[in-house]
Chain A
Amino acid sequence: MNMLTVQDLRKSFGSFEAVKGVNFSVEKGESYGLLGPNGAGKSTTINMITGLFPPNSGEIKIKDIDVIKNPKQAQKWIGVVPQEIALYQSMSARENLKFWGRMYDLSGSELEKSVDRVLEIIGLTERAKDKVSTFSGGMKRRVNIGAAILHKPELLIMDEPTVGIDPQSRNHILETVKHLNGEGMTIIYTSHYMEEVEYLCERIGIVDHGQLIASGTLSELRETIGDHSKIILSIDKESSNLEGLAQSLTGLFSEKDIQIQEQQVMVFHKEPQLILTDFIQSVAKTGTKITSVNIVEPNLESVFLHLTGRNLRD
C-alpha cells in the first residue's frame, strides 16, 4: 500500500511557479529522499504534503485520505520536522516536548512515557531540564525532531533536518532516522547533501526548478549517467595550455565526456582504470603540470551534474 501519493502537484507564488507538476509515491516502510539545490521547491512540496497550504492543482493522498480536503485527519498520522527550528526558546527541552505532545492529545502517563522515550532517542535525557535557548544548533535540531515523533507517526517528513550543524550531531540525527525507519516508520527526507540521501534513502527523487527531474533507487539513478566515474586532474594554472588540452583530449574521448576548467580537467568514463594513464599522458604532453589525481565513483552529485549541467551546491 502506498503511504503517500502525489500527483501533478503545482504551486505558484504570484507569477512565480515554485512547483511545476510533481509526481511521486512512497510505500509504507520506505525511506524516500528528495534531493535538490536551494530554491528547488523541496520545502514548498513538503508544506503542501503536510497540509500547511493547498496546492494550486494536483492531488495528495496519505494512505487513502485526501490531504487537501481533510488535512486534520491526515495530520494525525504524520510527524513533521520543519526546516527551521520550531520550538519555544525559553522553555526547557522537556517542557517543549510535553507541550507538543499535548497538542497531539497525549496526556498523563502516556505523555510522560512518550517524552522520556523521545529524550532517549534524541540523546538529550541529561539536558532535558535546560532551556532550549542554551542549546547548540545541533541539540536544537534534535529537539526539533523529537517534537515530531512524540505521537509515533506512521509517516515522518523531515525538511533538511541537518542544515548548519556539527558533524557529531549530524551523525546522531542520521542514526536516529535510520533507527526509526528500521522500526517501520516511513520516512521522507529532503536535503541538498547527497551523502545523507545516499546513506538513508532507498529511493530518491531529484528536484530542480520545481520539477522532479529523476527518480529511482541509487543504482537506477547511476544508470542514467551510464554509471560513469569521474577522473579529476587538478592542474597548475600557470603552466596550463587550455587550447592545447582541448585538442589533445578530443582525440581520445568524446566531447561530452570532457570538462576543462582553469584549475582542473575532468573526464567521465565507465572504466576509469583503463584510461587513466592515457588521460594523464595526453594532459602532460601539453606541458601542463598536474598537481593531483582523483577518481570519483558515480554518485548523486555527478547524476545531478549530468542532468542539469550544474553542481548541487556551489
Chain B
Amino acid sequence: MRFLWLAVKDLTLVARDKKAFLTLIMMPLLLIAILGSAFGNMMKEDEVVSIKKFTLGVVNLDQGQLSKVLTEEVFSKNLSKQIAVKYYQEEELYKKIQDHKLEIGIVIDKDFTQSIMSGQGTKIQLITVPDTVIKATIVQNVIEQFSWSVPIEAVVSQMSQPVQAGNQGGIDMEGYGEKPLINETTIDAKTKPVSSFQYYAAAMGVMFLLMTVVQGVSTMVLEKEQEVFNRLLLTNLTYSNYLLGKMLGLITICLTQAFIIILGTSLLFGVGWGASVSGIIVMTLAFVINASGLGVLAGSFMKTEKSFGVAGMFATQIMAALGGSMVPLYVFPDWVVFITKFLPNGLALQTYLDLMSGAVISKILPAIAASVGFGLFFFALGLIRLSMERRGKYA
C-alpha cells in the first residue's frame, strides 16, 4: 500500500504543478496538429525518394490489362528509381523469397482487372519475409492507391465494364500459409495503408511519452537530491516499494497522456489508430512500462537533476530520431529498423503502425511481451543499482 500512496502523492504534485500539467496535455495535441498539417503531403514524396532501391518480384496471373498498367507503368516506369521489377513463375517467387534472394513479391490474381473494375477490391497477395515492413508498406501503398484511382478514372472516362457477380474475394492461401518464414498479406479493402498524418500522430505521441518519462524521472532525481528522499528512506518504505511507487506514478501519467493523444487525434483530426482497441490499450501500457522502467533505471544512476536533465533531453532526442519520430523509418535499411525495436519508442511506433494497418492483438503479442519484459528488466536493474548506491553512500 505504501507504494500506492507514494504514487498518489506524485500525481498530486504533478496535478498542482500548472506548467507540468499543461505540458502534459496541451503540447502533444498542438504539436501533432502542426506537424500533421505541415508534413501532410510532403511525406509521401519524401519517403519514396529516400529509400534504397529494391527488387519487387511479380507473378502476373491476370488476364486483363490493368495488371500490366500496374507493373509496367506504375512500378517499372514511375517508380523506376525505387523499384526494379522482375517477373517470375509462382513457385519460383516463393523459393526466391524463402531463400532470402528476394525480400518482397506480389502475386496478381487472375481476376485482378475484373475485380478492380467491378469495385470488389484488389486481388493481390503480398509476400515478404518478416521485418520488411517498410518496403511492404510502400508496395502496399502503391497498390492501394492504384486500385482506388482506377475505378474512379474508369467511371469518369465511361469505360466501365459489366459488373460480374459471383467473383469470390477470398484469400488464396493454397498451402503457402504453412511456411513460417514467409509473410503473406492479401491486399484487400481490409488492410489500409498508413497515412503520413497517422504516422506522425503515432511518432509524435511516442516521442511525447518519452519526454514525459524524462520529465517524471527528473522530478524523481530532484526528489533524491532533496531531504524528502532521505526522510522517505527512514520510514517503512523499502527500495522496491519506492521504485514501484515511482513507476506506478509515471505509468499513470503516461497513460493519461497517451489516452489524450490517441483520443484527441482520432476525434479532432480523424486519425485512425486501427480497429483493435484492446491492441492499442495493451500496447500503450506495455510501452509505458518499458519506457518508465528505462527511465527509472536511468534515474537511479543520476545524482543531480541538472545532469539528468541534460542527459535525459539528449537521450530522448537520439532515441526519438532513431525510433522514427523525426525522420520516417522508411529511410533506414531494414536491419536498422529491426535494431530500433530494442528502443522502447522504436518498438512502440512500429507496433502502432502495424495496428493502424489493421493488425489484430494476437499479431502484436510478441511486441507486447518484449516491451513488458524489457521494462521489468530495467526496473530490476534500477533496484539493484539503488540499493548498491545506498550501501556505498559517501564512502
Interface set of A (CB-CB < 8 Å, partner B):
11-13, 47, 50-54, 56, 72, 75-76, 78, 80, 82, 84-88, 90-91, 95, 99-100, 102-105, 107, 147
Contacts and interface: CB of A to CB of B under 8 A. Distances in A.
- B interface SS class: helix
B16 A90 contact: yes
Contact of B2 (A84, A91, A95, A102): A102
A101 B2 CA distance: 10
A72 B390 contact: no
A265 to B, nearest CB: 45
Interface string B6-23: 100100110011000000
- A interface SS class: loop
A50 B234 contact: yes
Contacts of A99: 5, 9
A103 B13 contact: no
Interface stretch (B131-139, B206-214, B223-231, B346-354): B223-231
Nearest to B238: A72
A13 B394 contact: yes
B395 interface: yes
Contacts, number: 67
Contacts of A88: 9, 13, 228
Shortest beta-carbon contacts, A-B, top 4: A86-B227, A103-B235, A86-B231, A84-B227
Given A13-B394, A87-B228, A90-B13, A52 B5 contact: no
A75 B234 CA distance: 6
Most interface-central of B6, B9, B12, B234 (chain A CB within 10 A): B234
Contacts of B394: 11, 13, 53
Contacts of A80: 231, 234
A24 B227 CA distance: 27
A147 B5 contact: no
9 contacts: A13-B394, A72-B236, A86-B227, A91-B9, A91-B13, A100-B235, A103-B2, A107-B1, A147-B231
A86 B228 contact: yes
Interface of B: 1-2, 5-6, 9, 12-13, 16-17, 226-228, 230-238, 390-391, 393-395
Contact of A104 (B6, B9, B236, B395): B236
Contacts of B235: 75, 100, 103-104
B236 A103 contact: yes
B179 to A, nearest CB: 57
A205 to B, nearest CB: 22
A90 B234 contact: no
Nearest to A87: B228
A135 to B, nearest CB: 16
A56 B13 contact: no
Contacts of A72: 236, 238
B228 A105 contact: no
A102 B12 CA distance: 15
Contacts of A100: 231, 235
Given A86-B230, A103-B6, 4 more contacts: A12-B395, A85-B227, A91-B9, A102-B2
A51 B238 CA distance: 13
Contact of B5 (A53, A84, A103): A103
A131 to B, nearest CB: 9
B234 A105 contact: no
Nearest to B16: A90
B5 A105 contact: no
B233 A52 contact: yes
A80 B228 CA distance: 12
A50 B17 CA distance: 32
A117 to B, nearest CB: 18
A158 to B, nearest CB: 13
A86 B238 CA distance: 18
Contacts of A12: 395
